[in-house]
Structure 1
């Protein structure tokens, strides 16, 4: 029996094991390193920012929420720019602008100027983060999409931990300004390497006959897509809130950890680096619903472990929570262009927008839970967000197994791990 004919342009996409696939993955890991280091540059020094500028924890966290909020608002325009100007060029110049703005943050004369610079940084980073997932989805052959997206998310988590370690470590030796400046320097090096390594685009043109077939068996279900896009909103909201307010908890009694030691807590991100890469491959092999459900439940378990006032349990819980979150993110982000069908690029952009909207909204709102009920309040709120995400997973899976269009393809979609 002969193999089915390849879709037009399908063979041009990067296949696993090819030089282009390796270069693309390496470049996207570098983009994640630089972008996510800069995105959360203020998070490990929130207590120092509050002390220098005389603002409380909720206001200090605005230096994170304002950045992610600006990024969320700019994602769809950034995706449009990427399509018109070229995704590779857009990401390159977005990283350059972000490096310049992060260096300027280290010189901010006051809190208002600091927040404005962080907003501008979020807008610049949208040109990277808002385009990256769509770029991977458009350049990589369906056979390697899960693993490629997992590696990109692994780079995100690695950038998060390295950025936080640099900022926290240098700030403990001098000031938070020195920490942010050192981070900007590291991001500049990663940007230069990304600029050189990123391969030329191989994405088939939009008007190529059969172009939609190049997208991995897109299922195009609006209900499933809406439920799927809510998952990063809930999960990222809870995740960023944990890291925003954990620093305040661990710097207060009974822990009273100094800034450099607090920075080491972010090593938990390494669990996310490993988990996202593993989850991406597992989703290709076993199906997205199973892996995503397990990942969300792991995040819930990690949240519960952080509640007791025992440093070992708090750290263990943070590791488990981080692994679960990044595994879920890797799977859900790779699922978005599939559920989006022919609108795969816009689905990826909408996913990123929902992701950072959750970060901005709940990263700020859960400051009330911290102020009113301490860590117990934060953990309870995060638990509720995780429960909403789990319900959304059930909705996506149920809708797709019944058939994205209610037709005879329902059973086929339910059987294929690459789709579900």
Structure 2
């Protein structure tokens, strides 16, 4: 594959992944608005985010198997149409539980666009390019996550959050058909189903499991902080509007640079060192958000994004460097752990926020830092052997 073809592939993948992630976080900045509109509790409206993440977690293993067995094009077509349909249902419903159900539907089919593309990259790209390209993949998740938050809470007025779902549905359809047209077809391999590792055999490899746990712990922390930040900033002593809260999500742009940069850092200093440094930065950053200062909040969010994406990119790169086959299933397990961690984080931190406020959320996040930190120690120890 020529350099120009590589760049075109990266652009197509970037567009598809970014459009997919735009749909995940649409309601996050307008959770207080949804709470008032549907006369619901904080925990109930948080399900509009948690349901997507739960759907992604549940669907990853089936799509991981499909990614090892089927061409990428029909998988992408099915996923793109289903995600767009779920978004349009969200745009027209007046029932909170139907909204949550449609969000769950979106989550079930997002892995067709994200997990399967990760497996496609792992199978088609040379190993020396994989870390950097996976970093670019992570950057696409950043652009999509930021785009969804801006669509939901800023580009469209917060009270008109339904239009954000229409915009996201159009975007995912455009990205889907662009991918169908531009992605090169995988060469047929007669023994494609032979020698594929089973999920249980992958889970028996501790060097992979600790990477999965690092992903779960990292996303637990990241999703918990960003999901309940609007409630903290809407209350005293800040009393910010939804538009101003949404603007603070612009610090998320840090991940656009941290994705590819983390890949290069991991190549230079090793994934183990990156997985050790990332949690240390994460811990100090989330602790900063306890201070009643907007400057501390902004600095904490910047450090949160930098630390999280360093952990995420290093973990994805480390996982795929260890694989000689079954990339679809191994990446599906990674994303399963990743999103189960996020779902547990949002749900568990919802109870913590209700009982103990912001301090309870941050305490739980600090405890979960042990997972990526221990993974980093293990990765560094393996390199020294």
| TM-score normalised over the length of structure 2 | 0.92
1:70 & 1:320 partners in 2: Cα distance? 29
Alignment match, 2:99? 114
SS at match of 2:9: helix
Among residues 350, 359, 376, which one is paired with 2:359 in the alignment? 376
Among residues 270, 288, 291, which one is paired with 1:287 in the alignment? 270
Write the deviation string for residues 325-371 of structure 1: whole angstroms up to 9, x where unpaired: 11211110121123344333321111011111111111111111111
Alignment match, 1:360? 343
Superposition deviation, residue 207 in structure 1: 2.7
Worse overlay, 23-32 or 342-351: 342-351
Alignment match, 1:9? none
Contact 1:146 1:334 in 2 (8 A): yes
SS at match of 1:74: helix
Worse overlay, 175-184 or 325-334: 175-184
Alignment match, 1:350? 333
1:195 paired to 2:195: no
Alignment match, 2:24? 39
Among residues 232, 236, 249, which one is paired with 2:232 in the alignment? 249
Among residues 251, 263, 273, which one is paired with 1:268 in the alignment? 251
2:157 & 2:332 partners in 1: Cα distance? 37
Q: Which runs of 5+ in 2 are unaligned?
A: 197-201
Write the deviation string for residues 196-230 of structure 1: whole angstroms up to 9, x where unpaired: 3323325x73638x999xxxxxx998111111111
- Runs of 4+ residues over 2 Å off in structure 1: 81-85, 170-174, 178-202, 204-208, 337-345, 395-398
2:170 & 2:34 partners in 1: Cα distance? 21
Matches within 5 A, 1:111-260: 111-172=96-157, 174-202=159-187, 205=189, 207=191, 222-260=205-243
SS at match of 1:200: coil
Alignment match, 1:414? none
1:346 & 1:32 partners in 2: Cα distance? 19
Q: Which runs of 5+ in 1 are unaligned?
A: 1-13, 213-218, 403-410, 412-420
Contact 1:49 1:60 in 2 (8 A): yes
Alignment match, 1:96? 81
CA RMSD for the aligned pairs?
2.3
SS at match of 2:326: helix
| TM-score normalised over the length of structure 1 | 0.85
Write the deviation string for residues 16-36 of structure 1: whole angstroms up to 9, x where unpaired: x62232122111111121111
Write the deviation string for residues 308-341 of structure 1: whole angstroms up to 9, x where unpaired: 0101110111111011111211110121123344
Contact 2:218 2:369 in 1 (8 A): yes
**Closer/same/farther in 2, CA of residues 192 and 169 from structure 1, 3 Å limit:** farther
The structure number with the bigger radius of gyration is: 1
Worse overlay, 364-373 or 219-228: 219-228
Alignment match, 2:33? 48
**Closer/same/farther in 2, CA of residues 93 and 205 from structure 1, 3 Å limit:** same
SS at match of 1:61: helix
1:173 & 1:247 partners in 2: Cα distance? 13
**Closer/same/farther in 2, CA of residues 158 and 206 from structure 1, 3 Å limit:** farther
1:326 paired to 2:309: yes
1:100 & 1:343 partners in 2: Cα distance? 31
1:70 & 1:253 partners in 2: Cα distance? 34
1:175 & 1:54 partners in 2: Cα distance? 17
1:252 & 1:186 partners in 2: Cα distance? 34
Between the two proteins, the alignment pairs up a number of residues equal to 379
Write the deviation string for residues 98-130 of structure 1: whole angstroms up to 9, x where unpaired: 122112211122011111101111111121122
Contact 1:220 1:340 in 2 (8 A): no
Worse overlay, 55-64 or 343-352: 343-352
1:313 & 1:92 partners in 2: Cα distance? 44
SS at match of 1:309: coil
